[in-house]
Amino acid sequence: MNIVLIGVQGSGKGTQAKLLVEKTGWKHITTGDLLRDNIAQKTEMGMKAKEFMDKGELVPDKYVFEIVRIALQSQREGFILDGFPRNQKQLDFLRANFNIDYAVLLDLPDDKAIRRLTARRHCEDCKKDYNLLFKPPQVDGICDVCGGKIVRRADDNEMAINKRIEKFHQETNPVIESFAADDLLIRVDADQPIMNIQKEILTKLGIEKTEN
């Protein structure tokens, strides 16, 4: 199955995608991570993308289309696409080139998303994710896995967070409406415990049956 995972930043897309991968074996493809890989490897595209990402702006479509095309064209077993499409043009590109079975929307109010994002951290070395609200490291500032330093992502500062949330509503709402109009949208309440959200996704995708 090919699905798109949509949600305001902080809605738990990454966490839910990882759980879905364990359950289904589908490949998790996230444009944010692909772009950060390019930055880490100092590719020409990475250097261009960084300028936009640090300001909380969207990276221009020509770069993002290229990385999405390369990442998706080799997938035969199904994928969970996370972070794309974020606007109408990206949606048109995706629907013209790839089959999408469902779009799963993780629904979370903005004030809750801001609280979660402000507390988000990750390990500088192994990239393990933490959240000071509900998934803190055992020792303050030190990664549980590799002992690396725990840092805030460069674009998780307050100004960039507010900008990204505003952009999400401006640009991604039409994408959500379009999936809904085509009867492909599955709406899930993201303000509940992680495993309840996962259960709701699996049930609504028809992978797990409802109890009783």
Which residue's beta carbon is nearest to the bound ligand AMP? Answer: 32
Q: Are strands 150-151 and 120-123 parallel, antiparallel or unpaired?
A: antiparallel
Residue 173: its H or E element: helix 173-181
Residues 148-177 that bind ligand AMP (CB under 6 A): 155, 164
Nearest distance from residue 90's CB to ligand AMP, in Å? 6
**Stretch binding ligand AMP (CB under 6 A), from 28-36, 92-100, 112-120, 122-130:** 28-36
Of 8, 53, 117, 161, the one binding ligand AMP (CB under 6 A) is 53
How many residues are given for the chain?
Answer: 212
**Stretch binding ligand AMP (CB under 6 A), from 29-37, 99-107, 175-183, 188-196:** 29-37
Q: Is 95 a catalytic residue?
A: no
* In contact, 111 and 30? CB cutoff 8 Å: no
Nearest distance from residue 57's CB to ligand AMP, in Å? 6
Q: Does 200 bind ligand AMP (CB under 6 A)?
A: no
Sheet holding 2-7, edge to edge: 27-30, 79-82, 2-7, 102-107, 185-189
Find the catalytic residue in 36, 50, 86, 116.
Answer: 86
Q: Does 65 bind ligand AMP (CB under 6 A)?
A: no
Of 8, 19, 20, 59, the one binding ligand AMP (CB under 6 A) is 59
Region class of 28: left (phi > 0), else alpha (psi between -120 and 50), else beta: beta
d(CA 204, CA 44): 41
Tokens of 26: 């589908």
Q: Which residues are catalytic?
A: 13, 86, 120, 153, 164
